[in-house]
């Protein structure tokens, strides 16, 4: 008996392949080059890093809207530390350490408010988004802080191994860690359980408080890592460094099949979504689509992705009902 292939399982890969074919046909001389593909992956590496952590919160049914401004704050903290200690290699390590502490602290803050006061995650992170941006503006005096040295710092975002830059490898490594945690550990199973049905998870003895706290800390840490990487890529720190990245993360996750109500989605799907966003941006640039229209196109893509997600859920629900009905009739 031939096993039926589930469209939803391979739909993102099919769309990715379709994107590659279409862009290759439209721009045969500029798109399918090693340099361009490397640039696309480099451009979405930070989004991939952020998505690898934000997915933990999204699987619980939350949305972390603060990742962009938290990333900016982490970048500012890193650059300020390096500049304060005269661009030494030790200052780079200290700056990274402080950025990670900031990210973890932000995650703890979000987790505590969401758990203790039962405030929706998007409201909490919407508020802290402005707070983190305000702190960054105070620390920088709303100025751009350049940081062109030391080499240890600039190599984080611009160094290369083979054909690809370090940020691409960072994205892959962090995504693989997230994949392992979500698919091969008890913690991962608990996250899906809490996101799918919090009440049932609690009855089963799963600590919703612990799972929620860990998820927000992971999201905060990846935002901090993204901030360090982006600061190195741009060789500067400023308050608006991470502006708009929260939208890119949500877009990548939704296109990748991560449910906005929690309990469903995979890190591999989210990364494919990030690559699709990068290809979409690259394709629009290669076709000289005005920047004023690119946001409109992205918005339409998100709507289509959400519509597909809703239809797939309805199809699954309908299939389950039919299956139960047939079993009932058989009995």
Least confident of 7-11, 78-82, 322-326: 322-326
Q: Please give the average per-residue pLDDT across 270-281, as a whole number.
A: 85
- Per residue in 179-226, pLDDT (tens digit) is 999 999 999 999 999 988 888 888 888 888 899 999 999 999 999 999
Does pTM top 0.75 for this prediction?
yes
Q: What is the pLDDT of residue 321?
A: 52
Give the mean pLDDT of 292-321.
69
Of residues 143 and 34, the one with the higher pLDDT is 143
Provide the pLDDT confidence category of residue 33 given band limits of 50, 70 and 90.
confident
| 205/302: higher pLDDT | 205
Q: What ranges in the chain are assigned the alpha helix state H? A: 7-26, 34-58, 67-84, 89-117, 121-140, 151-158, 166-184, 186-196, 198-203, 208-234, 245-255, 267-286, 291-330
- Range in 41-50, 281-290, 317-326 with the lowest mean pLDDT: 317-326
| Residue 191 to residue 107: CA distance in whole angstroms | 16
Q: Would you state the pLDDT for residue 309? A: 65
- Work out the pLDDT band at 236, boundaries 50, 70, 90: very high
Q: Enter the CATH code of domain 40-243.
A: 1.10.3470.10
Query: Which of 103-117, 288-302, 307-321 shows the lowest per-residue confidence on average (mean pLDDT)?
Result: 307-321
Does the pLDDT of residue 292 top 60, yes or no?
Answer: yes
Residue ranges of domains in the chain: 40-243
Whole-number Å distance between alpha carbons of 325 and 180: 37
Rounded Cα distance between 297 and 274, Å, is: 16
SS3 162: coil
How confident is the model at residue 5, as a pLDDT? 45
Task: Give the pLDDT mean for 289-312.
Answer: 75
**Residue 252 pLDDT more than 60?**
yes
How confident is the model at residue 319, as a pLDDT? Answer: 54
Q: What is the CB-side half-sphere exposure of residue 123 using CA atoms within 13 A?
A: 6
Q: How many Å apart are CA 100 and CA 222, to the nearest integer? A: 8
Q: pLDDT, tens digit, for every residue of 104-118?
A: 999 999 999 999 898
Residue 123 banded pLDDT, cuts 50, 70, 90: very high
pLDDT for residue 40 is more than 80: yes
Q: What is the torsion angle, in degrees rounded to the nearest 10, for the CA atoms of residue 239, residue 243, residue 249 and residue 250?
A: 130
Residue 165 has pLDDT above 90, yes or no: yes
Note the pLDDT of residue 255.
83
Distances (CA, A) of 55 to 7, 26, 51, 271, 282: 22, 33, 6, 10, 24
Residue 13 has pLDDT above 70, yes or no: no
Rounded CA separation 45/225 (Å): 11
Evaluate if residue 324 carries a pLDDT over 50: no
Q: Is the pLDDT of residue 256 over 90?
A: no
**Regarding predicted confidence, which is higher, 121 or 19?**
121
Query: For position 12, what pLDDT does the model report?
Result: 63
Average pLDDT, the chain: 85
With beta carbons less than 8 A apart as the criterion, state whether 69 and 238 touch: no
Per-residue model confidence (pLDDT) at position 311: 72
Output 80 or 316, whichever has higher pLDDT. Answer: 80
> How crowded is the C-beta side of 272, counted as CA atoms within 13 Å?
21
Q: Which of 22-36, 110-124, 199-213, 233-247 has the lowest mean pLDDT?
A: 22-36
Residue 51 has pLDDT above 50, yes or no: yes
């Amino acid at each position: 008996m031939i096993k039926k292939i589930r469209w939803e399982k391979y739909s993102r890969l099919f769309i990715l392949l379709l994107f590659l074919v279409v862009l290759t046909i439209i721009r045969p001389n500029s798109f399918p080059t090693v340099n361009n593909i490397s640039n696309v992956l480099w451009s979405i590496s930070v989004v991939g890093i952020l998505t690898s952590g934000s997915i933990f919160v999204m699987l619980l049914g939350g949305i972390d809207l603060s990742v962009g401004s938290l990333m900016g704050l982490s970048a500012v903290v890193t650059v300020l530390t390096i500049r304060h200690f005269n661009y030494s290699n030790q200052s780079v390590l200290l700056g990274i350490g402080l950025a990670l502490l900031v990210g973890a602290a932000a995650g703890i803050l979000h987790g505590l408010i969401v758990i203790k006061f039962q405030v929706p995650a998007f409201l909490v992170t919407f508020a802290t988004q402005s707070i983190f941006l305000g702190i960054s503006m105070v620390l920088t005096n709303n100025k751009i802080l350049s940081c062109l040295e030391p080499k240890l710092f600039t190599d984080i975002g611009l160094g290369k191994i083979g054909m690809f830059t370090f940020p691409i490898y960072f994205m892959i490594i962090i995504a693989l860690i997230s994949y392992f945690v979500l698919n091969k550990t008890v913690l991962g199973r608990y996250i899906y359980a809490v996101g799918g049905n919090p009440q049932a998870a609690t009855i089963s003895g799963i600590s919703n408080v612990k799972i929620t706290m860990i998820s927000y800390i992971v999201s905060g840490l990846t935002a901090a890592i993204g901030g360090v990487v982006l600061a190195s890529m741009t060789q500067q720190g400023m308050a608006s460094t991470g502006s708009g990245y929260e939208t890119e993360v949500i877009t990548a996750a939704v296109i990748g099949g991560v449910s906005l109500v929690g309990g469903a989605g995979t890190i591999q799907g989210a990364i494919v979504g990030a690559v699709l966003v990068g290809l979409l941006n690259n394709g629009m640039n290669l076709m000289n689509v005005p920047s004023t229209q690119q946001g409109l196109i992205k918005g339409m893509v998100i709507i289509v992705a959400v519509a597909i997600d809703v239809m797939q859920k309805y199809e699954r629900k309908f299939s389950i009902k039919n299956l139960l009905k047939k079993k009932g009739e058989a009995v």
